[in-house]
Amino acid sequence: GMSVDVLPSRRELPQGSFPQRIRSAVEKMLRRRDRFRGRSGERAWWSERLQSDAPRVALCQFGDLAVHLWPLLRQHGVPTVAHFHGYDISSALSDRKYRNRLQRALPHFAGNVVVAEYQRQRLLELGAKASTIRVIPCGVPIDEFEPSGYVEQQPCRFLSVGRFVDKKRHDLTIRAFAECHRAHPNARLTIIGDGPNFAACRRLAHSLGIADRVQFPGARPIHEVRREPNQASAFVLPCVTSPAGDKEGWPVAIAEAAACGLAIISTTHASIPTQIAHNQAGLLSPEHDWPQMA
């Protein structure tokens, strides 16, 4: 019986419609335009919605949106609940303006939801009231996943799903797999996803002589991705703290792979040790330690 309103964002430019140099310039111009005229327009939109709908509470995803909207919500007497996930309680804090605004707002939030215990501790350090914080890890609808039929079959089929970004080090997976491949030439690795480090990882696989054993299907629709664990033996995702300080919250890809009964090969990063019991549900190695991962 509830309705959910989502603040409309500006339309993104179609992929491939412009050369990258022109595309970057146009997007920069659009961002400047949005900053110039978007503040008043956005404020008017929210004020109208708050007056017409009279919500009893606002759940803001993520922390930076809660900080952005809190002054207006407070003005209209609407309690703010912030839902933190990862970057908004890690790398985003390096932005002094965001950090200062968050510290001012936290004592006034009616509630704070985090997905990991370490994030709870971080909020306490930043001034949140302990009584307002709830740790609620990201859930997985178990009935939507089927156990893999390949867990005990050989050759081993390794699977990884995640964007090619600095906190998901697929290059470490490739290096570890190259070592594994020397002892087990029939092993396979599939890495699903796209991102800024995609091309570099493909080049690494070629340079290590395993390009024919590693598949890079790119980004795939969610219904296709959810079928992949049913044809895998183990799931691999070596998460690390990025150079910018970005951390994982509660990696949903790991939870979904575990829902399919796959052993998890990952790192002792952030909340993962509480998500995966080492030597029981998987094997965890220190961040960046790809030889141990191998």
**Structure token pair of residue 249:** 């919250």
- Can you give the pLDDT of all 294 residues of the chain as single tens digits? 445 555 444 444 444 445 556 656 666 655 555 544 456 678 888 888 898 999 999 999 999 999 999 999 999 999 999 999 989 999 999 999 999 999 999 999 999 999 999 999 999 999 999 999 999 998 888 888 888 888 888 889 999 999 999 999 999 999 999 999 999 999 999 999 999 999 999 999 999 999 999 999 999 998 888 888 888 999 999 999 999 899 998 899 999 999 999 999 999 999 999 999 999 999 999 999 999 999
Q: How far apart are CA 109 and CA 45, in angstroms?
A: 22
Q: How far apart are CA 50 and CA 77, in angstroms?
A: 10
Give me the pLDDT at residue 117, please.
92
Laid out side by side, the sheet with 133-135 consists of 58-61, 80-83, 111-114, 133-135
Contact 196, 227 (CB under 8 A): no
Query: Helices (DSSP H) in 106-197: which residue ranges?
Result: 117-126, 170-183
Closest C-alpha to 68, from 36, 49, 42 = 42
